[in-house]
A = this chain, B = another copy of it.
Amino acid sequence: MKTLADELFREFREHSVSEFFRKNAAMLGYTGKVRSLTTVIHEAVTNSLDACEEAGIPPDVVVEIKRMDEDPEHLRVAVEDNGPGIPERFIPSVFGKMLAGTKLHRMLQQRGQQGIGISGAVMFAQITSGKPALVRTSTGDGKVVEVEVSINVDRNEGEIHTKRVVEGKWKGTRIELELKEVSYQRSRYSPFHYLRMTSVANPHARITLEEPDGNRMVFERVVKEVPKPPEPMPLYPKGLMADDLLILCRASKSRTVAGTLTAELSRMTRQKVEEAERLSGVRLDKKPRELTWEEAERIVKAFKQMKFMAPSSSGLRPIGREHIEKSLRQMYEPEFAVAVTREPKFYRGGIPFVVELGMAYGGKAGKGEEEGGGGMELLRFANRAPLVFDQGGCVITSALRDIDWGRYSLNPELSPLTIFVNFCSAYVPYTSAGKQSIADEPEIYEELRFAAMDAARELRFYLHRKIRQREREQRAGIFEKFLPIIAKRASSLAGEEPPDIRPVLKKVTGLESDGGE
């Protein structure tokens, strides 16, 4: 018997993840001509910086944007780095397969974490210009591989079209993408602004941009040290769900659950395993694959009751307050700059993160002329990668909006202030695959507020001192004007020579003793 449901389900189909994101490219940030171009460059530069950092190489990234013909919306983008290169056999998957990569399954602080980004850029190039990506890469083994690669959307697979191997000493990766329906300009949402922000948060990187008109500019390296390569961060027992534990056990090579726990979790000592066994009533010498959901739930519950050392945050790589201040001074030439790098904290029970926040006041800081001039400017970063879009939905925005700025003698509409925020974590809770805003986790919100208040207090000291200084100067002005007259009149009344009043003046106005503060 044929029912209506059978009829309706005739249209039932399966789809590949590439097909999904082709249809919903806006979810990856491909919306609008300016944003689409910035997204392409963001994905390529992110990969380059991650690769250099993992290999301990000071990054030297060159971005070239060239016009192809008279159509101003037809551009060729090249991003080249001096990183470790990509082994030939991984090229199709790196550039042509979504949800493939070295990052998705590891707890490692990196800019990328999804295995979607660069394949998405290849797809965008392909659906607007019809052209595959040109990739040139070498791992430093004397061979330079150059291939044309595209993405097979139906199968979510990379396809190689042409391949050329030449001898060469060069090491690194270069990707060239031909794009249509994109637009180059210098607004807040442009590649120019994006790379400028990237440079602020990556003072160890040298970034070169060649604009379509041939103009070449270099954002120079400000500090020499390369951040230490990120370290894998094992999961923390208190942040674990029963399902996580079962997945660990299923994949484990240990012979017992106890072995899995000590191998896979942080802060799990022999003693802690015994305590968990006692509290949960689950025998931990059983095979990992035999653990049931109910047992896993009991173990996780036991973890929540136990005391552990705070999770290790040794794998986190904040920029550091000195480097942030240095970057801000160099970029904004402010009257005053301050930065704080807070201690590591944890969200969702055990995911470590660090908040860094810097403020630059005066000089070129604050909203630029093109945005009406004056008022606070907010620069958001996650693991040093700029977050340029979707500012409204980000916890950084909401946490800072809720600060009572008046208490710090600041006015969001008027103060010439640039606030720099970097959120570091091995897992950034993005609200969407476009990775432009961070979800509102209560611990993150709180920590952002504390960081803002820390920095704002320093800035308030500076501002109050400035006000006191100005008052003193005004006071001094009055004394300077009238004291000599009084001295003269008094001495003439007394029939004496006018005395040297400069020491008195100094004492009264207090300018000398406090001036160096």
List the interface of chain A (C-beta within 8 A of B). 1, 3-6, 8-9, 11-17, 19-20, 23-24, 26-27, 31, 51, 54-55, 84-87, 90, 93, 97, 99-102, 104-106, 114-116, 126-128, 130, 139-142, 241-243, 293-294, 296-297, 390, 392-393, 429-434, 437, 439-440
9 closest cross-chain pairs (CB), A and B = A432-B432, A130-B293, A5-B139, A3-B139, A392-B392, A127-B243, A393-B393, A11-B102, A5-B84
B432 contacts A4, C-beta separation under 8 Å: no
A20 contacts B104, C-beta separation under 8 Å: yes
Name the B residues within 8 Å of A90 (CB-CB): 9, 12
Q: What are 21 contact pairs spanning A and B, CB under 8 A?
A: A3-B140, A3-B141, A5-B86, A8-B54, A13-B102, A14-B99, A15-B104, A15-B115, A17-B20, A19-B99, A19-B104, A20-B114, A23-B104, A24-B114, A24-B430, A26-B430, A27-B431, A31-B429, A127-B241, A390-B431, A432-B433
Name the B residues within 8 Å of A433 (CB-CB): 24, 27, 432-433
A27-B113 Cα distance, complex, nearest whole Å? 14
Distance to closest chain B CB from A52 (angstroms): 11
Selected from B8, B17, B54, B87, the residue in CB contact (under 8 A) with A84 is: B8
Whether A55 touches B439, Cβ cut-off 8 Å, given contacts A243-B130, A393-B390, is no
- Seed contacts A4-B55, A31-B440, A390-B393; 17 additional CB < 8 Å A-B pairs: A1-B141, A1-B142, A3-B139, A3-B141, A5-B86, A5-B139, A8-B102, A12-B100, A26-B439, A27-B432, A31-B429, A130-B242, A130-B243, A130-B294, A393-B393, A431-B434, A432-B433
A274-B86 Cα distance, complex, nearest whole Å? 49
Chain B residue with the shortest CB-CB distance to A7: B84
A176-B393 Cα distance, complex, nearest whole Å? 32
Please tell me how many copies of the chain the complex holds: 2
A54-B10 Cα distance, complex, nearest whole Å? 13
Name the B residues within 8 Å of A126 (CB-CB): 243
A5 contacts B432, C-beta separation under 8 Å: no
A435-B85 Cα distance, complex, nearest whole Å? 38
Whether A14 touches B84, Cβ cut-off 8 Å, given contacts A27-B430, A27-B431, A431-B432, is no
Name the B residues within 8 Å of A93 (CB-CB): 12, 14
A105 contacts B12, C-beta separation under 8 Å: no
Name the B residues within 8 Å of A293 (CB-CB): 130
Name the B residues within 8 Å of A27 (CB-CB): 430-433
B102 contacts A12, C-beta separation under 8 Å: yes
A3-B24 Cα distance, complex, nearest whole Å? 38
A19-B4 Cα distance, complex, nearest whole Å? 34
Chain B residue with the shortest CB-CB distance to A243: B127
Selected from B99, B106, B392, the residue in CB contact (under 8 A) with A20 is: B99
Name the B residues within 8 Å of A243 (CB-CB): 126-128, 130
Name the B residues within 8 Å of A16 (CB-CB): 99
A13 contacts B105, C-beta separation under 8 Å: yes
Name the B residues within 8 Å of A242 (CB-CB): 130
Distance to closest chain B CB from A6 (angstroms): 5
Distance to closest chain B CB from A130 (angstroms): 4
Distance to closest chain B CB from A313 (angstroms): 20
Chain B residue with the shortest CB-CB distance to A441: B31
A85 contacts B14, C-beta separation under 8 Å: no
Chain B residue with the shortest CB-CB distance to A23: B104
Whether A15 touches B430, Cβ cut-off 8 Å, given contacts A3-B85, A5-B85, A297-B130, is no
Name the B residues within 8 Å of A31 (CB-CB): 429, 439-440
Interface centre among A3, A86, A141 (most CB of B within 10 A): A3
Interface centre among A126, A390, A431 (most CB of B within 10 A): A431
A471-B216 Cα distance, complex, nearest whole Å? 69
A90-B55 Cα distance, complex, nearest whole Å? 48
Distance to closest chain B CB from A138 (angstroms): 9
A100-B116 Cα distance, complex, nearest whole Å? 20
B392 contacts A14, C-beta separation under 8 Å: no
Name the B residues within 8 Å of A55 (CB-CB): 4-5, 8
